[in-house]
Amino acid sequence: MAYDEFTAERIRNVLTEKRIEFSERNMMGGRIFFVDDKMLCGIHIDKKYGEQLLMARIGEEAYAKVIDKEVCLPMDFTGRPMKGYVFVIPDGIELEKDLDFWIQSCLDFNPLAKSSPRKKKPKKK
């Protein structure tokens, strides 16, 4: 398991308390949460930083407002930062109000986010 189950449960609790329908699955070496079939947030233990990080899809506008916070890092799985996504270090989600802030930021952006195109299944012969 490449993520902390306790943090995953905390995210589930926040989404459930907000009465948000969500799904989740293992991806990118961690656990990713989806709302309306769009990536919302995720958690994984990052090899580069050596600790668990929250991946938050917050959009470019919010990104510009928060990236200078001490608890934020650019999300750069491939060495090139992804626009509109941040990593949040453990100190940034330690308190419930802080985790709620990041989840709400993701939820605020979610209606504006584009869905990833679904891969077509090959036709059976």
Asked whether residue 87 is domain-assigned, the answer is yes
Asked whether residue 67 is domain-assigned, the answer is yes
Asked whether residue 120 is domain-assigned, the answer is no
Overall number of domains in the chain: 1
Yes or no: say if 62 and 105 are a contact pair by the CB < 8 Å rule. Answer: yes
Asked whether residue 119 is domain-assigned, the answer is no
What is the per-residue DSSP string for 41-55?
Answer: EEEEEETTTTEEEEE
pLDDT at 37: 92
Asked whether residue 18 is domain-assigned, the answer is yes
CATH of the domain at 106: 3.90.1150.30
pTM for the whole structure: 0.86
Task: Give the residue numbers spanning the domain of 26.
Answer: 5-112
Asked whether residue 123 is domain-assigned, the answer is no
pLDDT single digits (tens) 64-101: 999 999 999 988 877 788 889 999 999 999 999 999 99
Q: Could you give the angle at which helices 96-109 and 5-17 cross, rounded to 10 degrees?
A: 60
